[in-house]
Amino acid sequence: MTGIDPGPPVLGVLLAGGQARRLGGGDKCLQRIGGDTLLERVLARAAPQVPHLLINAGGDPARFRRFGLPVVADVIGGFQGPLAGILTGLEWAERHLPECRFVATFATDTPFLPSDLVARLQQAVELEGADLALAASGGRTHPVFGLWPVPLAAPLRQAMIGEGMRKVDAWTARCRVATVAFPTGDGDPFFNVNTPEDLAEAEARLTAAAGTAGPAVSRRSP
């Protein structure tokens, strides 16, 4: 428990479009560490933070069937990056969850993301009167970990279609942004896996954590 008012309902969007080119190809989020996929580990941390979740990914949705979540492809085709995933989540919330004010986005190659991420982003938006909030650690902002107001869907679509905008940073530069810094004392919570070396580092981090606090998540069957 964080002691922070959870605020209005939030849709969580698991951005699962990354390709594991440096890991042999395929869906990066389905790479395994500690016997579980990266997506399973991200889901275990994200699910308690939001009442609704979907997976943003193209291709055959059947490969994600075992997770029991809606799988929604980008509303703008052509692999336009995480900004398209953000827009997809915003427009899905407009259509299916009118009670939601915000969409929270999670990268699916970051198995150690904070368990209080959404609550702290919500708190920052309210306290600072910001349009949206982004996570940061170690002096770096992580724009794919954000809390996005649903009413930004229309202007974001206009920017992407009418202006060809593709970079998250270019979009957030137009908004009042609250930046929330997370501690890195036990390792960067936004460490992401891109290479075999990163996988090995993540495994070592899990092993170290298991020696002091038990397994990070329960094991699941594929």
The residue that leads in pLDDT, 5 or 96, is: 96
For the chain, what's the residue count?
222
What is the separation of C-alpha 114 from the centre of its chain, rounded to a whole number of angstroms? 11
Question: What secondary structure letter does DSSP report for 90?
Answer: H
Contact by Cβ (8 Å): 149, 33 = no
71-72 and 132-137 beta bridge pairing: unpaired
pLDDT, tens digit, 9 for 90 and up, residues 16-63? 975 555 555 668 899 999 999 999 999 999 999 999 999 999 999 999
| pLDDT class of 7 with cuts at 50, 70, 90 | low
Of the candidates 90, 95, 96, 106, which has an alpha carbon nearest to the alpha carbon of residue 13?
A: 106
pTM: 0.88
Average pLDDT over every residue of 87-99: 96
Query: Thinking of the domain 10-212, which architecture would CATH place it in?
Result: Alpha-Beta Complex (3.90)
Average pLDDT over every residue of 83-100: 96
Determine the Cα–Cα distance for residues 5 and 142; give it in Å rounded to an integer: 23
Contact by Cβ (8 Å): 70, 61 = no
Average pLDDT over every residue of 211-220: 50
